[in-house]
């Protein structure tokens, strides 16, 4: 028997209940828009980019556009904590490690202002688990810390529903028909709204191609690695040790980052900020015997910078990045259908900024001037993206 088909009209529809779509829906509901948030998988799920327990939040950003958005983001995270009555942020501090002349490190130092540089001796004194190779320095960001990711996703969706929003999970969007009212057909219904936001993570390309838009979005499979402390607590397990980002490494242009032990006692998360190109539908189809260059790279990094950790990961999980060529976000209208708004290409650094991203996508969908400039995130930086629909 065919499933009953739902039909309804809303003020706004958002596709994708990851952190970006959920925050967009939350802001729309706050603006009293009757909003439908659609998710293809039953929630919670681990197929996208927003699952797992931890994400880094920091003020230290080399690019001024992101650095300027961070105070607003910290404020909005606090607001969500208050609304949801739960704590979502653990302050640990963060160090950016690298050669003093590295442009990313220098950019972070410049945007943080004042004197935030620690030399190797001071770093080792404060954080005995971290070793700096000769000649490298550390930039200290006291606001850095960990967002409790899964809890945050749940919180923003709960508040959205409390504000009267409708979240329908296990319902995949199959077709989008543009128009003054956009029609969205899913596996269970047909919905209409004068505005649509697409925040579909690694699946965004598949939804946009039939609308004639071919953005250079590359899904990457990321090995999320957890490394055991040789002696439990030697790195100051819990909130005592900082998050870190290592840049300017000889072995990789993409950087390596780490978070203190949070999800698993005695296991520290250390990952390469890059991965292997993948079809999100086939994420785990890795032929047996395939080498894991990221894990080899991380082992060698750990022997040098984190000698208190074992050099084979105890646990490896999987996550997806969706990268743009310049690793900057896409936050813009569809160039032909101005009531279809796109948030994509978060390139492995979008979680911390999700409250602001959601606000900007909400403002764009309401035809308002965005509260931060979206010029760096425009689709026009990819000439040729707009082609004839399939």
Ligand X SMILES: Cc1cc2nc3c(=O)[nH]c(=O)nc-3n(C[C@H](O)[C@H](O)[C@H](O)COP(=O)(O)OP(=O)(O)OC[C@H]3O[C@@H](n4cnc5c(N)ncnc54)[C@H](O)[C@@H]3O)c2cc1C
Of all helices (H) and strands (E), which one includes residue 57?
Answer: strand 54-57
Please select the residue that binds ligand X; options are 126, 151, 154, 172, rule is CB under 6 A: 172
What is the pairing mode between strands 94-98 and 137-141? antiparallel
Closer to ligand X by CB, 130 or 207: give it.
207
199 touching ligand X, by CB under 6 A: yes
Residue closest to ligand X, measured at CB: 18
39 touching ligand X, by CB under 6 A:
yes
Query: Does the protein bind ligand X through residue 203 (CB under 6 A)?
Result: yes
The interface mask with ligand X, positions 40-79, x = CB under 6 A, is xx-----xxxx----xx-----------------------
Nearer to ligand X, 232 or 315 (CB): 315
* Contact between residue 309 and residue 165 where contact means Cβ atoms under 8 Å apart: no
Are 270 and 242 spatial neighbours (Cβ–Cβ below 8 Å)? no
Closest CA to 57 of 138, 142, 146, 139: 146
Work out the angle at residue 117's Cα, subtended by the Cα atoms of residues 250 and 249, and round it to the nearest 5 degrees: 5
Please choose, from the candidates 178, 180, 153, 167, the residue with its C-alpha nearest in 3D space to the C-alpha of residue 53: 153
- Indicate the length of the chain as a whole number: 390
Contact with ligand X (CB under 6 A): which of 74, 127, 244, 346? 346
Cα(153)–Cα(136) distance, rounded to whole angstroms?
Answer: 37
Query: Assign residue 345 a region: left if phi > 0, alpha if psi is -120 to 50, beta otherwise?
Result: left
Given candidates 108, 138, 196, 222, which one binds ligand X under the rule CB under 6 A? Answer: 222
Q: Which of 351, 358, 360, 377 binds ligand X (CB under 6 A)?
A: 351
Within positions 4 to 33, which residues make up the interface with ligand X, using CB under 6 A?
15-21
Assigned token pair, 95: 């160090």
Closer residue to ligand X (CB): 16 or 98: 16
Which DSSP string corresponds to 218-248? EEEEEEEEEEEESSTTTT-TGGGSPEEEE-S
Q: Show Cβ contacts of residue 169 under 8 Å, excluding neighbours closer than 6 positions.
A: 17, 39, 41, 42, 43
Region near ligand X per CB under 6 A, out of 36-44, 69-77, 83-91, 361-369: 36-44
Nearer to ligand X, 154 or 172 (CB): 172
Question: CB-wise, 49 or 299, nearer to ligand X?
Answer: 49
Task: Give the residue with the Cβ less far from ligand X, 122 or 143.
Answer: 143
Task: Report, in Å, the least distance between residue 349 CB and ligand X.
Answer: 5
One of 225, 320, 341, 360 touching ligand X (CB under 6 A): 320
118 belongs to the binding site for ligand X (CB under 6 A):
no
Nearer to ligand X among residue 78 and residue 125 (C-beta): 78
Burial environment of residue 206 by CB neighbours within 10 A (0 to 12, 13 to 18, 19 or more): middle
Q: How many residues bind ligand X (CB under 6 A)?
A: 37
Output 191 or 346, the one with its CB closest to ligand X. 346
List binders of ligand X among 263-302 (CB under 6 A). 271
Q: Phi/psi at 185 (nearest 5 deg)?
A: -105, 130
How far is Cα of residue 384 from the mean position of the Cα atoms in its chain?
A: 26
Closest CA to 190 of 177, 206, 179: 177
Q: What are phi and psi of 15, to 5 degrees?
A: -100, 120
Query: Which residue's CB is nearer to ligand X, number 40 or number 374?
Result: 40
Is residue 352 a contact residue for ligand X (CB under 6 A)? Answer: yes
Q: How is residue 250 written in tokens?
A: 């000889």
Q: Which stretch binds ligand X (CB under 6 A): 113-121, 154-162, 342-350, 375-383?
A: 342-350
Of the candidates 215, 214, 177, the residue with the CA atom closest to the CA atom of residue 196: 177
Give 35's strand partners. Answer: 12
If the CB atoms of residues 112 and 146 are measured against ligand X, the closer one turns out to be 146
| 348 touching ligand X, by CB under 6 A | yes
Contact assessment for residue 342 and residue 204, using Cβ atoms and an 8 Å cutoff = yes
**Please, which residue, 112 or 262, has the CB nearer to ligand X?**
262
249 binds ligand X (CB under 6 A): no
Stretch that binds ligand X, among 98-106, 132-140, 202-210, 284-292 (CB under 6 A): 202-210
Q: How far is CA 68 from the centre of its chain?
A: 17
CB of 76 to ligand X, least distance (A): 14
Q: Which residues bind ligand X (CB under 6 A)?
A: 15-21, 38-41, 47-50, 55-56, 172-173, 199-203, 207, 222, 224, 271, 319-321, 346, 348-352
């Amino acid at each position: 028997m065919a499933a009953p088909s739902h039909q309804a009209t809303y003020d706004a529809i958002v596709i994708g209940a990851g952190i970006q779509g959920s925050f967009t829906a939350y802001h729309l509901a706050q603006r009293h828009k009757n909003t439908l948030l659609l998710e293809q998988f039953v929630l919670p799920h681990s197929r996208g980019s927003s699952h797992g327990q931890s994400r880094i939040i920091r003020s230290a950003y080399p690019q001024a556009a992101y650095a300027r958005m961070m105070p607003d983001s910290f404020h909005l995270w606090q607001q969500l904590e208050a609304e949801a009555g739960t704590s979502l942020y653990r302050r640990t501090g963060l160090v950016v490690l690298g050669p003093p002349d590295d442009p990313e490190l220098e950019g972070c130092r410049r945007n943080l202002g004042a004197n935030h540089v620690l030399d190797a001796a001071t770093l080792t004194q404060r954080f005995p688990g971290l070793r700096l190779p000769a000649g490298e320095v550390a930039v200290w960001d006291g606001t850095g810390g960990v967002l409790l990711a899964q809890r945050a996703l749940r919180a923003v969706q709960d508040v959205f529903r409390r504000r009267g929003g409708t979240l329908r999970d296990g319902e995949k969007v199959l077709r989008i028909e543009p128009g003054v009212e956009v029609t969205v057909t899913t596996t269970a219904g047909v919905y209409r709204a004068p505005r649509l936001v697409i925040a579909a993570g690694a699946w965004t390309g598949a939804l946009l191609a039939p609308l004639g838009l071919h953005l250079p979005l590359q899904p990457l499979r990321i090995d999320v690695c957890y490394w055991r402390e040789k002696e439990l607590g030697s790195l100051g397990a819990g909130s005592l040790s900082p998050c870190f980002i290592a840049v300017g490494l000889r072995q990789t242009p993409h950087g390596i980052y780490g978070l203190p032990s949070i999800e698993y006692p005695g296991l520290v998360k250390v990952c390469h900020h890059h991965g292997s190109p993948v079809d999100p539908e086939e994420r785990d189809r890795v032929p047996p015997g395939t080498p894991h260059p990221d894990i080899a790279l991380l082992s060698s990094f750990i022997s040098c910078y984190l000698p208190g950790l074992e050099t084979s990961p105890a646990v490896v999980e999987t996550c997806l990045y969706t990268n743009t060529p310049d690793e900057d976000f896409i936050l813009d209208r569809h160039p032909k259908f101005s009531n279809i708004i796109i948030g994509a290409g978060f390139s492995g650094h979008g979680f911390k900024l999700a409250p602001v991203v959601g606000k900007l996508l909400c403002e764009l969908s309401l035809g308002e001037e965005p509260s931060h400039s979206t010029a760096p995130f425009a689709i026009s930086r990819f000439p040729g993206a707009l082609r004839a629909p399939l």
